Structure 1
Amino acid sequence: MDASPAGRALQEEAEPHPDGKLTRERMLACALEIVDRDGVEKLSMRALARALGRDPMSLYRHADNKAALLDGIAETVLAQLTVDPSDPDWVAQLRAVAHRFRHLALTHPRVVPLLVTRPLATPLALRPRGTLRPLEDILALLTRAGFTGADALHIYRALFGFL
């Protein structure tokens, strides 16, 4: 057991679900804590299981492999990136998205490499829904503002390339 304050906090955060079941959300929250504290390279199924007080095999009910776990972490963080596709002021929405993304990057600096590399490593059709939501919402925002689909995609890529 890790006796450091961060280790104790992580262990407290990783307490099992009241009915004894390990949930995907609990597992991803603990994985995010490990990445925030130690970096992606220190995350393993074994380390996560140890932090959760579980057998490593129990994690595979919620993530098929480490790649799926990393996708889940990216999905968890990107869930905090909200976009209002119905806002008529698309410039203000993109500005707000940039500020929110910056806040996420400052809050989870060790997760940023995942946000940049996971989409490239996972084919579009296999990405978790949560990782596609910001893309879909921004494309909807821009097409409602009158941009063609191709132009909206170019704007999205330019924005996130810059971010």
Structure 2
Amino acid sequence: MAKNPAEQVARRPLTRDLIVGAAITIIERDGSRALSMRKIAAELDVGVMTLYNHVPNKGALLEAVAETVLADLDVPASATGPDRDWKLNARTLVAAFRATARRYPRTMYLVLTSRVSAKSARRATRRILALLATAGFDDETSVRALRALMAYMMGAQILQDGAVTMSHGLPGDPADPRVDLDPAETPHVAALFEELTRPDPEAEFELGLEMLLAALDRLPRGDG
């Protein structure tokens, strides 16, 4: 059956940006395993083969997804000036990562755990390494500090998502029979039970970040 002319006019022309946007929507809504060219085509109500006029394969699509998501990490150069304390600059870059991870949690996880080589990821890496070099850290220490920051940011995000999910499934009363908790055996855990079931992701992340930055700040380094 021929499509209504009004529908044909209303439909937007297919573009690479539309395809990438649909891919991100699917990942965030259904998870990365659900992503396929066929599902994207269904999302956009187009034929599968038309997608290949804009992205040659799924690998290229993932690269484009990574570029789109990680573009938010490109904070203005003026926000991380060399005249500022290096820890302030680090917090600015970490905040950009954090905001992006909150906006695209599933997509960010996919990007960081897959073998994509997005230019935005390389730019972010160069920014952090330059920041550490300006602070006076030598090459080896800069690389290790970069890895420590990335491990903390990624790990904290995954841990906090899991902690929130876990706490929502826990009963709120330590006397609840579903709680296998003996105050005589674990008095400290019993005393902190309510605190353990009320995660505060933002406060916990900020505290952990300050601890990590303080530890890095104590490492020996030159004058920058």
**TM-score interval (norm. to shorter):** 0.7 to 0.9
The counterpart of 2:16, out of the listed 24, 36, 56, is 24
CA distance in 2, matches of 1:62, 1:146: 45
1:70–1:114 Cα contact (<8 Å) kept: no
Letter matched to residue 155 of structure 1 = A
CA distance in 2, matches of 1:100, 1:43: 26
* CA distances 1:57-83 after superposition (whole Å, capped 9, x unpaired): 222233332222223222211111134
Secondary structure of the residue aligned to 2:105 is coil
TM-score (normalised: structure 2): 0.55
Letter matched to residue 118 of structure 2 = P
Q: Which residue of 2 aligns with 1:74?
A: 66
The counterpart of 2:97, out of the listed 101, 104, 120, is 101
* CA distances 1:100-140 after superposition (whole Å, capped 9, x unpaired): 2222222222123213212xx24xxxx23122111111122
The worse-fitting range, judged by mean Cα deviation, of 153-162 and 60-69 is 60-69
CA distance in 1, matches of 2:54, 2:81: 34
2:73–2:120 Cα contact (<8 Å) kept: no
CA distance in 1, matches of 2:146, 2:68: 20
Pair 1:62–1:141, CA change in 2 (3 A): farther
Any residues of structure 2 matched to 1:116-127 within 5 Å, and which?
116-118=112-114, 121-122=115-116, 127=117
Greater relative contact order (CA < 8 Å, ≥ 6 in sequence): 1
Pair 1:162–1:46, CA change in 2 (3 A): same
Any residues of structure 2 matched to 1:1-163 within 5 Å, and which?
16=12, 20=13, 22-83=14-75, 84=77, 86-88=81-83, 89-118=85-114, 121-122=115-116, 127-163=117-153
Q: CA RMSD in A?
A: 2.1
**Gaps in structure 2 of 5+ consecutive residues:** 1-10, 154-224
Letter matched to residue 55 of structure 2 = A
Deviation at 1:94, TM superposition (A): 1.2
Pair 1:54–1:95, CA change in 2 (3 A): same
CA distance in 1, matches of 2:139, 2:15: 38
1:90–1:141 Cα contact (<8 Å) kept: yes
Pair 1:63–1:148, CA change in 2 (3 A): farther
* CA distances 1:19-44 after superposition (whole Å, capped 9, x unpaired): x3x32222211211111111111111
Q: Rg: which structure is higher?
A: 2
TM-score (normalised: structure 1): 0.73
Identity %: 38
Pair 1:57–1:131, CA change in 2 (3 A): farther
- The count of residues paired between Structure 1 and Structure 2 equals 139
**Gaps in structure 1 of 5+ consecutive residues:** 1-14
